[in-house]
């Protein structure tokens, strides 16, 4: 079974490969595809839409059986700005399967810069003097002192997607 992943970000690609490690006879291809939402989504809805678009575009581009899209975003609440992450699994002719990931509050000084129009990944690299942090532990890794890294967080989302897919196969 051919599985297309709608990104080349290693934190996401490795998460899919790890989460689906027990699925037999799978081949994975990681492709750069448009999310068709803003580079920094600002709501759950926009982040979900980005995940679905990545999954759909990857499915079509790779002519795969399954497309998987993972998207990071932020959302404003009465408590402050949370980071959020969503995943979608798309198969031809079916409604997308959707799953959400862990969310935590962003420290004020980081949220202020995101509100000002910067992508969270760029804010992280600027304030922490890092390079491409979002391809490794990500914001969630930094702000949880690496108890939960970005890959681990996405592994959970992909397992939630795979489980729903398995459930559907049994119907």
Ligand X SMILES: O=P(O)(O)OP(=O)(O)OP(=O)(O)OC[C@H]1O[C@@H](n2cnc3c(O)ncnc32)[C@H](O)[C@@H]1O
Binding site for ligand X (CB under 6 A): 7, 9, 12, 40, 71-72, 83, 85, 119-121, 124, 134, 138-140, 150
Our CB check for ligand X shows the closer of 54 and 169 to be 54
Residue 18: both structure tokens together:
């790890």
CA 6 to chain centre: 10
Q: How far is the CB of 136 from ligand X (least distance, A)?
A: 9
Q: How far is the CB of 124 from ligand X (least distance, A)?
A: 6
Q: How far is the CB of 67 from ligand X (least distance, A)?
A: 14
How far is CA 126 from each of CA 22, 29, 109, rounded to the nearest angstrom? 38, 31, 12
Our CB check for ligand X shows the closer of 22 and 77 to be 77
Q: From 131, 140, 149, 59, select the one nearest 105 (Cα to Cα).
A: 140
Our CB check for ligand X shows the closer of 25 and 41 to be 41
d(CA 131, CA 125): 6
């Amino acid at each position: 079974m051919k599985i297309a992943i709608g990104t080349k970000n290693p934190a996401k690609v490795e998460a899919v490969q790890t989460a689906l490690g027990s699925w037999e006879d799978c081949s994975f291809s990681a492709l750069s595809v448009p999310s068709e939402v803003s580079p920094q989504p600002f709501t759950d809805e926009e982040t979900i839409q980005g995940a679905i678009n990545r999954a759909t575009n990857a499915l079509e581009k790779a002519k795969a059986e399954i497309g998987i899209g993972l998207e990071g975003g932020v959302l404003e609440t009465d408590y402050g700005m949370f980071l959020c992450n969503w995943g979608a699994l798309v198969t031809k002719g079916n409604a997308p399967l959707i799953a959400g990931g862990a969310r935590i509050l962003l420290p004020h000084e980081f949220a202020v810069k995101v509100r000002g129009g910067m992508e969270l990944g760029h804010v992280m690299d600027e304030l922490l003097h890092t390079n491409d942090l979002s391809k490794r532990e990500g914001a969630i890794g930094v702000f949880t002192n690496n108890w939960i890294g970005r890959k681990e967080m996405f592994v959970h989302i992909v397992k939630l997607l795979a489980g729903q897919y398995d459930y559907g196969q049994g119907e």
